[in-house]
Amino acid sequence: MAITRTNANSITALPAGVGGKVLQVVSTTKTDTTSVSSSASFADITGMSVSITPSSTSSKIFIICSANIATNAGYNLHLRLVRDSTAICIGDASGSRSSATMGIRPPDVYSRIERTMNFLDSPSSTSAIAYKLQWRQVDSTTAYLNRTYNDDDNDARPRLASTITAMEIEGWL
């Protein structure tokens, strides 16, 4: 049984099934590779999106992303989570700094870096919502998803998978 605070001095129990229950799960796994070159703006990562339609405006959406990314040694790549066309779970803007969810800067061309993140969103909607991952290659090079930067054909250069999952969580009172 879930509990809720009704005021500063009182805690009451909610009936079974109210708050916190997973109502639906949608997930996409991307197994092929893709790339992005130096850009001044964020671009969608093809295949890294899901659509979910909440059953209630009080529902929360729990997003889990796992992306395997590589870029040239010492170069920067930024990632951000987007709900429809709005970036969410990003750092505060400051000067010319990019507002992003995650970033990478690999030590060498053979590294691939897995970035995993989760975020509990409150969209207050019962319309279909698209959640997607975007990226921006900050420096003058190319970044890759699901492979290493140096993609020699040998066992030390794996091909990988990336995922994005959205779970509707029953709303809290």
In the chain, where the domains are located:
19-169
pLDDT of residue 139: 87
CATH number for 19-169 (one of 1.20.1740.10, 2.60.120.1340, 3.40.50.620, 3.40.630.30): it is 2.60.120.1340
Q: What is the rounded distance in angstroms from the CA atom of residue 72 to the CA atom of residue 111?
A: 9
Global confidence as pTM: 0.84
Calpha distance 111→105 (Å, rounded): 10
* pLDDT one-digit tens code per residue, 72-82: 888 899 999 99
C-alpha distances in Å from residue 81, one per residue of 29, 56, 100, 139? 16, 22, 8, 20
Output the six-digit token pair for 122.
């409150």
What single-letter amino acid sits at 150? N
Whole-angstrom Cα Rg for the chain: 19
Please identify every stretch of the chain with a pLDDT value under 50, giving residue numbers as ranges. Answer: 1-6, 10-11
